[in-house]
Amino acid sequence: MDWIASILSRHPDGEALRDLSEMPVFGDSEDGGARWHVQVVRKDDLLQTGLKIIDRSEENDIDPEDSIEIHDDKNQNQDASLESSLEASIDDSVEEKVKKWSSEIARRLDWIYPMTQKLNMPFKLSVSDMKRASQTGLDGANIHIPALVPKPKFMEGQKKKSGADIGTLHHFVMQHLDLTGDLSTEGIKRQIQDMALKTLIEEDDIEYIKAKNIADFFINPLGQRLMQAKAVHREVPFILSKEIDGSDVMIQGIIDCYFEEEDGLVILDYKTDFTGTKGTHAVAESYRVQVELYTEALTRLLDKSVKGAYIYFFDASESIEIM
């Protein structure tokens, strides 16, 4: 209404608005050929009937005060009746609105999300999360928060590598090894030294990388198959949409290696785990969920069949066929 009233107050028919504002109106008054009827209605006007007093004392030889009182009493009764009717109407309208909005407010405040069972369902999981979920359930699968601001290396000082750090180093070396070069123990040591010179890894990292264990892989029959494959793909990232408990969840992971043979793909997942007394077969079985996800990802994304999947343990120099 603000912009309508401000324009209308300058119109020739807007005198009522100009009187109401008691402020001067600047600018020329233009009607633009339009005609308006402006009427200001106040609250009190709705509760009054415009009491009119009629003096008929001269006609009926009645005292003027009596005439006024009689006529006034009659009109007052009418006014009271009308005011009562208006107030009742207003009360009914207000009560109806209160009921309506009370019901709406209660509905909104009492509303319960119908999919509460999915509130804790993560939108995206890593392959490692899926491995944990297979053991502990989805509730604990995605509860790990990485450090958002890691300490600078110069503040960390000398720090012993964790098992996960050592595993990451071996994966990095396996990713960047020149498969056409010397893959003996000494040859792999030279390649690792070259990675340090190129600052791909730190000089201090070299002592944690077991060159002999890596060389043993290429002597293993599985390593020989990789060397003779049509194509070798290392550290391949993927994102896979998968339905879990009725919800679409994005599965994100990295396949250590897969290579192509004439009749299909072969998945290779290498581990630096210490198998100890558990044995390689038992430890390999704990990674079955991961390997199954790798298989599904390659099958769906490449539209190619996976003929086999293996886990290779560097500490035992042994490969276990998992699929």
Q: CB within 8 A of 200, min separation 6: which ones?
A: 172, 176
Q: What is the pLDDT of residue 142?
A: 54
C-alpha dihedral sign at 81, 87, 90, 92 = negative
Question: Is the pLDDT reported for residue 319 higher than 70?
Answer: yes
pLDDT at residue number 54: 41
**Angstrom distances, CA of residue 192 to CA of 182, 196, 211, 215:** 12, 6, 8, 12
Is the torsion defined by CA of 300, 303, 308, 310 positive or negative?
Answer: negative
pLDDT, tens digit, for every residue of 78-103? Answer: 556 656 665 666 666 777 777 888 88
Query: 252: closest CA among 294, 286, 289, 292?
Result: 294
Least confident of 32-36, 86-90, 221-225: 86-90
Of the two residues 20 and 266, the one the predictor is more confident about is 266
Task: Tell me what the mean pLDDT of segment 195-214 comes to.
Answer: 94
Q: Is the separation of the CB atoms in 212 and 317 below 8 Å?
A: no
Task: Using alpha carbons, select from 275, 290, 270 the residue that is nearest to residue 172.
Answer: 270
The whole-number pLDDT of residue 23 equals 61
Residue 130 confidence (pLDDT) = 76
Q: 74-88, 149-163, 227-241, 276-290: which has the highest mean pLDDT?
A: 227-241
Contacts of 18 (CB under 8 A, 6+ apart): 9, 25
**If you classify domain 124-159+220-321 with CATH, what class do you get?**
alpha beta
pLDDT for the residue numbered 64: 45
Tell me: pLDDT of 223 over 80: yes
pLDDT of 74: 47
Whether the Cβ atoms of residue 113 and residue 119 lie closer than 8 Å to each other: yes
Q: Which of 236, 259, 310, 242 has the alpha carbon at shortest distance from 280?
A: 310
Residue-wise pLDDT for 108-121, tens only, equals 889 888 877 777 67
> Taking the alpha carbons of 95, 96, 98, 103 in that order, is the dihedral positive or negative?
positive
Residue 67 banded pLDDT, cuts 50, 70, 90: very low
Residues 109 and 102: their CA atoms lie apart, in Å, by 10
Model confidence at 34: pLDDT above 80: no
Dihedral sign computed on CA atoms, order 158, 164, 170, 176:
negative
Residue scoring higher pLDDT (216 or 33): 216
Q: For position 56, what pLDDT does the model report?
A: 44
Q: Are 311 and 279 in contact (CB under 8 A)?
A: no
CA distance 298 to 238: 9
Q: How far apart are the first and last CA of the chain?
A: 74
Check residues 23 and 272 and name the one with the higher pLDDT: 272
pLDDT at 103: 86
Q: Domain boundaries in the chain?
A: 2-94, 124-159+220-321, 161-208
Give every CB contact of residue 169 below 8 A, 6+ residues apart in sequence. 161, 201, 205, 208, 209
- Helix 185-197 with 163-176: angle, nearest 10 deg: 100
Residue 72 has pLDDT above 70, yes or no: no
Please state which of the ranges 7-16, 64-73, 150-159 shows the lowest mean pLDDT: 64-73
User: pLDDT tier at 134 (50, 70, 90 boundaries)?
Assistant: low
Average pLDDT over residues 131-160: 61
Which SS3 state, helix, strand or coil, does residue 150 take? coil
